[in-house]
Amino acid sequence: MNPRAHTDRIIHGWLLLAVFSLVFAGVFALLVALARTPVLEDMLPLGRGHIYVALVGHVVLAVVIWFLAFQGFLWAHASTVDMERPVWSPALGYAALGLCAAGTGLVAVSAIFGLGQAELANYVPVLQTPVFYAGLVLFAVGVTAHLINFAASIITAKSAGKTLPIAAFGMAVAGAGVFVAFLCFGLSAWFQFATNKAFLDFERLMWGGGHILQAVNTIAMVTAWIYLARIIYGAEPVGSALAKGLYASYLAFILPAPLIYFMYDTSSQAYKDSFTFIMRWGLGPSTAVFIIAIARWVIARRGRGGRTRPWKDPGFSSLVLSMTVFVIGGVIALLIRGVNTKIPAHYHCAIGAVTIAFMGLFYEIAPRLGRELYSKRLAAIQPYLYSAGILLFAAGLFLAGEHGVARKTYGSAQNLNSLGRLVGMSIMGIGGLVAISGGITFVWNALLTLTRPARPALIEAQGQAEPGGAAL
């Protein structure tokens, strides 16, 4: 098999893994949404413990595995297609993909069969069973192997005189962030055991590394925005110097993160506040500059077919909606007071924005990989459906939080004893169902697209159709 064929298979494999993770994440999301919706909550035959297990399954599959798997595609694409080079080691590429697939399977099986008690730690909740732990470890090892392949591919391309494109630079920063996150997880465990703890405190374990992974997700989302704008308009939306400077600013906040473990005890508030500081100042300003720069650039240009704002184009709509939802999430963050459902309203907008960007990029990238979209009509509608669901979901949680509904409560524990609480959680439930329907639409379209035979002629046709002849 020629090197390009190996590269295509590895890229295709990461997309398949990412989409399959959403299949299971969506099932668990439906259970969780129903468990918080008035009236419907009483119709569920599941106990509270089952809902918490479903919540763990949903969060890990949707916020950890889906994001990192799609980033696996971005790392593979940025280091090969963008650099016009084959993958450095096909064997390592297949091994990394296989390890991540096996890990995903173990995580899904653990949640489906409720193999362990749920521990609702922030960022990376867990099921307390060796099967679930093995799944996380296998997935982490697979991602690490993939990043080694990515780095070697980039170094080899640079040695051959290739220039590092903006997207490849951004994904290199994201890759460095993943290594830092894994180091933070390891340091937290080490220092907990160093204090003679008999058991790990998962909240303390996942807090630091979880924050860094969210930073990585934001970096990957910005990279997806750059890809989308480039595909639609045929040129880079942000100058190379500015973009790489902003990416470097993310890295400047991320790299020192492991030092926090040597400065503060993981049980202290200072430890938690330090990572909150990284999220607020390490992500906010740089991402805001990216949003302003890309928005101004898009407004001033015409896309494919001379359209200034091609709203029926899933790439364009996903770009605009992702940036809009992310900004709304940032505004909500500024309005959080206390511990209530305003907190999940904020982070569902943040992670929803990442998902919208990734979904939109899938629609644009699949034809360039020789996979014709199963339904262009569904692709045109889906970003609006999913985004509307996310915004309704967040609006309901925000309203409920205004009336004191506590986060991480379900069923009767929510105490929906006022009109504001009842209306807020009802809107949340409606939004959740709309978002899930949008997710199902994407998964259906994506799976049928990826399982179609590849059409090499489509790749050439897409390249010729690019504005100005630009290609990825």
pLDDT at residue 28, rounded to an integer: 87
Stretch 386-415: mean pLDDT, rounded?
80
Residue 1 in this model has a pLDDT that exceeds 80: no
Helix (H) or strand (E) holding 117: strand 117-119
Q: What is the pLDDT of residues 410-450, one digit of tens each?
A: 555 565 667 777 888 889 889 988 999 999 999 999 999 99
Nearest to 399 by CA among 339, 351, 342: 342
Of 466 and 119, which is predicted with more confidence? 119
In DSSP terms, which residues pair with 126 in a beta bridge?
Answer: 119
Of 263 and 338, which is predicted with more confidence? 263
pLDDT at residue 428, rounded to an integer: 87
Helix spans in 338-451 (H):
342-368, 376-402, 419-450
Give me the count of residues in the chain: 472
pLDDT at residue 35, rounded to an integer: 66
Residue 39 in this model has a pLDDT that exceeds 70: no
Cβ distance 336 to 343 under 8 Å? yes
Q: Where in the chain is CATH 1.20.120?
A: 1-163
pLDDT over 70 percentage in the chain: 88
pLDDT at residue 464, rounded to an integer: 45
Query: Residue 62 gets which letter from DSSP?
Result: I
pLDDT over 90 percentage in the chain: 63
Range with the poorest average pLDDT among 2-16, 132-146, 272-286: 2-16
Tell me how far apart the 2 most distant CA atoms of the chain are, in Å.
67
Two tokens, residue 423: 């209306």
Residue 156 in this model has a pLDDT that exceeds 50: yes
Cα 465 to its chain centre, rounded Å, is 29
pLDDT at residue 467, rounded to an integer: 43
Q: Where in the chain is CATH 1.20.140?
A: 171-301
Stretch 357-383: mean pLDDT, rounded?
94
Q: Per the confidence metrics, is the pTM higher than 0.85?
A: yes
Q: What is the pLDDT of residues 196-230, one digit of tens each?
A: 766 788 999 999 999 999 999 999 999 999 999 99
pLDDT at residue 471, rounded to an integer: 42
CA trace torsion 245, 251, 253, 256 (10° rounding): -140
Domain 1-163: state its class.
Answer: mainly alpha
- Please say whether the structural domain 171-301 has been given the CATH code 3.30.310: no
Residue 316 in this model has a pLDDT that exceeds 50: yes
